[in-house]
Structure 1
Amino acid sequence: MASSLQVGKYLISPIIRTLGPDRWSAAVSIRSGRGSMTHDRVMRLQPVFGNRDDAARHATEHGLAWIDAAGAAPMPSLATP
């Protein structure tokens, strides 16, 4: 597994596997919470990559984009008119 990256409450971990000579697949684990309240989302990604570094970079970027999209969701307004 490639190096993990802590971003706020999330831990992004690229998961890279070799599929044969010059063929690498990418997945990403996005974990949050602690102990029995841990939630781990794992996504397998496309395409197949020609080297390990490109696969790891793609997985990390995908994880960061997911966190950004999750944080960008509008919060409900609690103010009364």
Structure 2
Amino acid sequence: MKTEDFEFVKVDWLDAQSGFSVPMDLEELMSVPMVETTSVGCLVHEDKEKIVLGFMMFGKEGYFKHWQMIPRGMIKKITKLKEMK
């Protein structure tokens, strides 16, 4: 398995949030903006529920040290990146 076996993509998505340190009333809580997030990596898996990006792959065995699973419901846009020369 090589990185050439995968497409490189940019994923724009909304990250989940939670809080524990500062008490907030409902009005304050509703004013917290959503966090727009961008991830770039190898698209190593996708199905109807999720995608998985790989960022660091070891050798030909296909072991990923750094990966990210993003639920489809959080994804705003997936852009395929052009081949770099």
TM-score (norm 2): 0.28
Structure with the larger helix share: 1
TM-score (norm 1): 0.29
- Of the two, which has the highest radius of gyration? 2
Structure with the larger strand share: 2
